[in-house]
């Protein structure tokens, strides 16, 4: 189970980290957007709220939040290349389901993840502190599009062989 946003703020204060207006803006954006945002998207959104905010501040704040264990940095199967995406650790553990064609990200919560965690801990005598699960594939919409592409390609190559 994750921590509430107020707990995150307390955690920062306990470590002597001032929750500046700019840090507050970033934390709120990551927490409330409901999306997995990369640093550049966060910067653009934060700048709308505070035009004085600069890119360096955003990157430093993300690094500080990550090091403090308040946000997770994800690569989401590198769908978007090298960029990383951020989410707060407020949520219970979940898996990220990424469509490798359109980039849509879904989140899966449920007992199977907890069961897997318990099995790994029991089997290896391992204490899990952090688990990330990413599953790549094709969403139902992209499966239909891919099937159509394959059909079209097959028709084109069959026509080329006849010609």
* pLDDT (tens digit per residue) in 97-109: 999 999 899 989 8
Task: Please report the pLDDT score of residue 1 as a whole number.
Answer: 39
- Which of the two residues, 8 and 76, has the higher pLDDT score? 76
CATH architecture of the domain formed by 1-91: Orthogonal Bundle (1.10)
Q: Report which secondary-structure segment, H or E, holds 134.
A: strand 133-137
For residue 163, name the pLDDT band (cuts at 50, 70, 90).
low
Q: Is the pTM of this model over 0.75?
A: no
Q: Closest Cα to residue 61, out of 36, 86, 94? A: 86
Are the CB atoms for 102 and 140 separated by under 8 Å? no
CATH fit for domain 93-163, picks 3.40.50.720, 3.30.1490.190, 3.10.105.10, 3.40.50.2300: 3.30.1490.190
Task: Please report the pLDDT score of residue 162 as a whole number.
Answer: 66
pLDDT tops 50 at residue 144: yes
Q: How far apart are CA 107 and CA 28, in angstroms?
A: 20
Give one DSSP letter per residue of 39-62, joined into a string.
HHHHHHHHHHH-TT--HHHHHHHH
* pLDDT (tens digit per residue) in 21-36: 888 888 888 877 777 8
Domain ranges of the chain: 1-91, 93-163
């Amino acid at each position: 189970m994750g921590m509430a946003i107020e707990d995150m703020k307390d955690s920062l204060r306990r470590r002597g980290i001032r929750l500046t207006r700019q840090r507050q803006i970033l934390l709120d954006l990551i927490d409330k957007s409901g999306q997995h945002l990369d640093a550049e998207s966060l910067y653009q959104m934060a700048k709308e709220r505070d035009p004085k905010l600069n890119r360096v501040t955003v990157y430093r704040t993300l690094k500080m939040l990550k090091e403090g264990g308040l946000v997770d940095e994800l690569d989401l199967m590198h769908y978007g290349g090298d960029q990383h995406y951020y989410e707060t650790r407020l949520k219970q553990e979940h898996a990220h389901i990424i469509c490798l064609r359109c980039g849509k990200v879904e989140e899966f919560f449920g007992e199977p993840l907890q069961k897997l965690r318990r099995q790994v801990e029991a089997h290896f005598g391992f204490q899990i502190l952090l688990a990330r699960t990413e599953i790549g594939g094709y969403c139902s919409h992209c499966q239909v599009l891919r099937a159509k592409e394959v059909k079209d390609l097959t028709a084109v190559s069959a026509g080329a062989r006849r010609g």
